[in-house]
Chains A and B, each alone.
Chain A
Amino acid sequence: MMEQVPDVNENEASGSVATYTVGLAFALLLTGASFLVSQTHLLWAPGVTAGLVVLAIAQMGVHLVFFLHIGTGPDNTNNVLALAFGVLIVLLVMSGSLWIMAHLNTNMMPASAILQMQR
């Protein structure tokens, strides 16, 4: 069915050699920065985790824009909406699991105390 619709107006060139090269350069730069931050004392030690998360999110953005061509074009609205929904679910799954499990851990009785109660 789909095959019979002629491909008029095929916007073939999504991206160019330049966009891919810029994307690769950004990705390499951000990866290098992540390694640097994790291996040296460049950042204040308690802030390293936050720094790594920020660098990772920035690199994911670079991949989305330069490699997957998720942008602001009119034919891209649906892709962006689907991405927003996906990000919502991922955040719920990740933060929800961490939050719930951390609370369970702090509120759980130590194993020895449970054994005491069963006597």
Chain B
Amino acid sequence: MNTQVVNTQVASGPAPVRTVVAYGFWIFLLSDIILFSALFASYAVLSAQTAGGPAGRELFELRHVGAETLCLLFSSYTCGLGLLSIGRRRMSAFYLSFGLTFVLGAAFLGLEISEFAGLIARGAGPSRSAFLSAFFSLVGLHGAHVTAGLLWLCFLVGQTYAKGPRDFVRRRLLCFSLFWHALDIIWVGLLTLVYLMGAR
């Protein structure tokens, strides 16, 4: 009975703008995931081609990778909480959550940059072997996405401060949160295929 009422409501008029915007952004995210899948495939094909150089077993430090994973998971969580607080117009909770999201995202990026710098210093840069080229382009593209996400986050927090929690601001924050959660999904694939399987 109740679901029927909801169904006719949805079918009778145009969907709410928020639903349409989220759908469009979801399509973009899926195309981004397909872009990543091409790099995942090339990594999977090239991961054994070390050209006599170091393999993943000698390079990856799982403690480091675990810290990166925790940063990303908790920043996703705070991002979700921030979205809930702006929906309820709790502005200070929103700023706190998004501030934490930024700090955790920046911590992830710092860990990744230090990992890359360490690899290059050990002579295991992207030009060493096909395996390392594939590794740096795949993990680096994810890092570039996180960097873009952090810039976007700063911009959106500034906009929220300037314009208040209006409808269009909240829709942009929704899109950002979808982007941030999708980066987590890609990181799960990276963690499994690159680090956990590579370190064995």
A112 CB-CB contact with B under 8 Å: no
A39 CB-CB contact with B under 8 Å: yes
* Size category, A interface: 35 or more
CA of A27 to CA of B184, assembled, Å? 10
Q: Which residue of B lies closest to A85 (CB)?
A: B30
Q: Which residue of B lies closest to A37 (CB)?
A: B196
Contacting residue for A49 out of B7, B34, B74, B197, CB 8 A: B197
The interface size of chain B toward A, counting residues with CB under 8 Å, comes to 56
The main secondary structure of chain B at its interface with chain A is helix
Cβ-defined contact, A2 with B37, below 8 A:
no
User: B1-39: contact bitstring with A at CB < 8 Å (1 yes, 0 no)?
Assistant: 001001101100011111111110011001101100110
Cβ-defined contact, A60 with B188, below 8 A:
yes
B55 CB-CB contact with A under 8 Å: no
Cβ-defined contact, B16 with A67, below 8 A:
no
User: B160-200: contact bitstring with A at CB < 8 Å (1 yes, 0 no)?
Assistant: 00000001101000000010011011001101110011011
Q: Which residue of A lies closest to B30 (CB)?
A: A86
User: A92-106: contact bitstring with B at CB < 8 Å (1 yes, 0 no)?
Assistant: 011011100100000
Cβ-defined contact, B84 with A86, below 8 A:
no
Contacting residue for A93 out of B26, B37, B185, CB 8 A: B37
Q: Which residue of B lies closest to A12 (CB)?
A: B87
CA of A28 to CA of B20, assembled, Å? 32
Cβ-defined contact, B26 with A82, below 8 A:
yes
Known contacts A7-B167, A60-B185, A74-B7; A13 and B84 CB within 8 A of each other: yes
**Can you spell out 11 A-B residue pairs with CB atoms less than 8 angstroms apart?**
A5-B14, A31-B73, A34-B192, A34-B196, A35-B66, A38-B199, A60-B185, A63-B181, A63-B184, A68-B182, A74-B6
Besides A9-B9, A67-B184, A86-B33, 11 other CB < 8 A contacts? Answer: A5-B14, A7-B17, A7-B167, A11-B19, A20-B80, A27-B184, A34-B191, A52-B197, A74-B10, A79-B26, A101-B45
